[in-house]
Amino acid sequence: MLDELAAGQVTLTTLWLLGVSMGLTACTVTCLPFMGTWALGRASGQKEAFLHTGVFLAGRITTYTLLAALAGAAGLGLAKALGGTWGNVIIGAASIGAGLWLLARPVGRSCATSASGAVPPAPTFSPVHFRRTKRDSLPPLFLGAALSLTPCTPLASLLALAANAGSAAQGASYGLAFGLGAAMTPILVLVPLAGRLGRELRSGREWIARWLTWAAAAVLILLGLRRLWPMFIA
């Protein structure tokens, strides 16, 4: 693959393999702390864990496609700028937002009147079940899109090749092939395992649920602040 790139023989298969090489290595190391913590904090069931993992990867694929299209249309400089300081700002904001989302998703029993007409007791904190909605997929989507801006050699190679292609359409095809390759990652297995671990920890231990959620939120917020920290000391 490297010989093909050096010789200028670029095919979509080559870009896909380049994405696979990143998905199996750097992607897992970089992304698992974010998505693993998210799934652990939510104690995701199998369905939700796979849904959020898929949404996360869709965010990555979309961003790679847009970045490569941008590089093909406007050259390498603008796209590389997104992978520098601004990339860390976006990653930090997405991570902090995911942490705050965990804290802002209250749980409890419904206050509706029962069939017998009796009003049930006042809502109490029952940390085992989140009020899960479709909007809960937004943090994984934003995390996937943001983490695609992490500077790395495969991404730099993609942007350089897209810039040399000289057109947005060709660059987008490069980015799409690269993103589909990067989606071949152990995260597909590890994130659902993290969600299952969260459910096992909470099972029969309601006292630990609140602390697990708060701890996961704190980790995500700290990961985000770590990305933003260089801006404060620059």
pTM score above 0.75: yes
Instruction: Measure the CA–CA gap between 215 and 163, rounded to whole angstroms.
Output: 42
Give the number of domains in the chain.
Answer: 1
Q: Is residue 55 part of a domain?
A: yes
Q: Cα angle vertex 32, ends 31, 34, to 5°?
A: 70
Beta strands in 3-63 (DSSP E): none
Query: For residue 105, is it left (φ>0), alpha (ψ between -120 and 50) or beta?
Result: beta
* Residue 158 domain-assigned (yes or no): yes
**Could you give the 3-state DSSP secondary structure of residue 89?**
helix
The reply to whether 133 falls in a domain is: yes
Residue 1 within a domain:
no
Domain boundaries, position 217: 8-108+124-233
Residue 132 belongs to some domain of the structure: yes
d(CA 233, CA 218): 22
Domain contains 117? no
DSSP annotation of 112:
S
185 DSSP 8-state letter: S
Structure tokens at 54: 């898929």
11-70 pLDDT, tens digit per residue, is: 899 999 999 999 998 889 999 999 999 999 998 888 999 999 999 999 999 999 999 998
Q: Is-contact 186 24, C-beta < 8 A? A: yes
In this structure, is residue 114 part of a structural domain? no
* Cβ-contact 43, 194 below 8 angstroms: no
Nearest to 50 by CA among 175, 230, 195, 232: 195
- What's the rounded Cα separation, in Å, for the pair 56 and 67? 17
Q: Do the domain assignments include residue 115? A: no
pLDDT tens-digit readout, 61-99: 999 999 999 888 877 676 666 656 778 889 999 999 999
